[in-house]
Amino acid sequence: MIRFKNFVLVLLFFVKTLNGEEYLRQVSPPWGYVFKNWDGPPIDVIVYIPKETKATDPLLIVIPGASRDAQRFHGSWLSLANENKFTVVTIGAPKPLFPDELSYNAGGVTDKNGTVTREISWLFSAIEPIFNDVKKRHRIQTDRFHLFGHSAGGGFVHRFLLFKPRAPVVRAVAANPAFVTLPSYNNNYPFGLEGLSVDGNALKSWFGLNMAIVLGEKDLGPRTQPLSNGKEAREQGPHCFARGTLLYKVSKQLAKEKKAVFNWRLITVPGVGHDNFGIAPVACKYLFGG
């Protein structure tokens, strides 16, 4: 009897799928850790691996909104991850360490004086190292990741792709961005590209990436943060729906003028406002369903 029990335990430990590929071990409490292996401040990382997820299954990185409520944003993806079998990694950039929209939404590319900072300390520069660290910790074998951000996170995502076009991103969703960076040199960053070394080739690379701007059709209220509700943001439109639409239209037109490949999509969601939970299922279809 004892030998039989030992055999069952060994068998369960080495559970494999029918094709011989092992399932990943699920994450135990507290389900996350603090990432410090980069040139910026510590970042909280929350990881969820659904049951029967294989090492080669997809991985999604989630960038929360201005609340920085990583647990809430993480939770909005768990049922979708269970249904579609992908790992969820949510980034927690604490407000005391990333205190404003420049350091968070805009990735820390410039300081309050408009001076471009060191790229190695941009929050953008932490994403791929976190991806590689999570892979190593959990023996994940996928070579690329999917990316989602809502509100401030939506602003982060479209800017991340601009500044990190070679990052191993399969598809990305910038949902309900609080304000946008337009491919124009008429405004300073983060509203435009004045003062940055972003040329036409960089814009072509940006336009060629697989990104969807996903907007709630009822996201028609004003934002409350200083930059999101400031003069330059209001010039982009009175609300997130208008600003996200503007980013798509201006970029599509410029790509046409430059004869560049344009792989972005604009997806609007009826009946949904500034609501991450309402946006996530639609974003999931784009990210993982074609």
For 108-118, the pLDDT digits (tens) are 999 999 999 99
Residue 92 lies in a domain: yes
Mean pLDDT of 50-56: 96
72-86 average pLDDT score: 96
| Other CB atoms within 10 A of residue 172 CB | 27
Mean pLDDT, residues 210-237 taken together: 96
Q: How far apart are CA 174 and CA 158, in angstroms?
A: 6
3-state secondary structure 122-177: CHHHHHHHHHHHHHHHHCCCCCCEEEEEECHHHHHHHHHHHHCCCCCEEEEEEECC
Residue 17 predicted with pLDDT over 90: no
Residue 33 belongs to what H/E stretch? strand 32-35
pLDDT of residue 22: 86
The predicted pLDDT at position 133 comes to 98
CATH number at residue 170: 3.40.50.1820
pLDDT band at 7 (very low <50, low <70, confident <90, very high): very low
Tell me if 7 is assigned to some domain. Answer: no
Structural domain contains residue 71: yes
Q: What is the pLDDT of residue 28?
A: 74
Average pLDDT over residues 265-271: 98
Calculate the average pLDDT of the chain. Answer: 92
The domain of 74 spans: 24-289
User: What's the predicted TM-score (pTM) here?
Assistant: 0.92
Confidence of residue 31 (pLDDT cuts 50, 70, 90): confident
Q: Does residue 244 have a pLDDT over 50?
A: yes
Q: pLDDT, tens digit, for every residue of 144-192?
A: 999 999 999 999 999 999 999 999 999 999 999 999 999 999 999 999 9
* Residue 81: pLDDT band with limits 50, 70, 90: very high
Q: What percent of the chain has pLDDT over 90?
A: 89
Instruction: Note whether residue 85 is domain-resident.
Output: yes
**What pLDDT is stored for residue 250 in this prediction?**
98
Residue 142's alpha-carbon distances to 2, 73, 91, 135, 170, in angstroms, are 39, 23, 19, 8, 11
What domain count does the chain have? 1
Separation CA 10–CA 21 (nearest Å): 16
User: Does the pLDDT value for residue 14 go beyond 50?
Assistant: no
Q: Are 23 and 17 in contact (CB under 8 A)?
A: yes
Query: Does a structural domain hold residue 10?
Result: no
Strand-pair category, 87-92 with 145-150:
unpaired
Decide if 271 is inside a domain: yes
d(CA 273, CA 129): 33
Query: In this predicted structure, what is the pLDDT of residue 20?
Result: 52
- Between CA 142 and CA 225 the distance in angstroms is 37
| CA–CA gap between residue 116 and residue 97 (Å, rounded) | 18
pLDDT > 70 in the chain, percent: 92
Tell how strand 145-150 and strand 59-63 pair up: parallel
Domain assignment present for 101: yes
Residue 12 lies in a domain: no
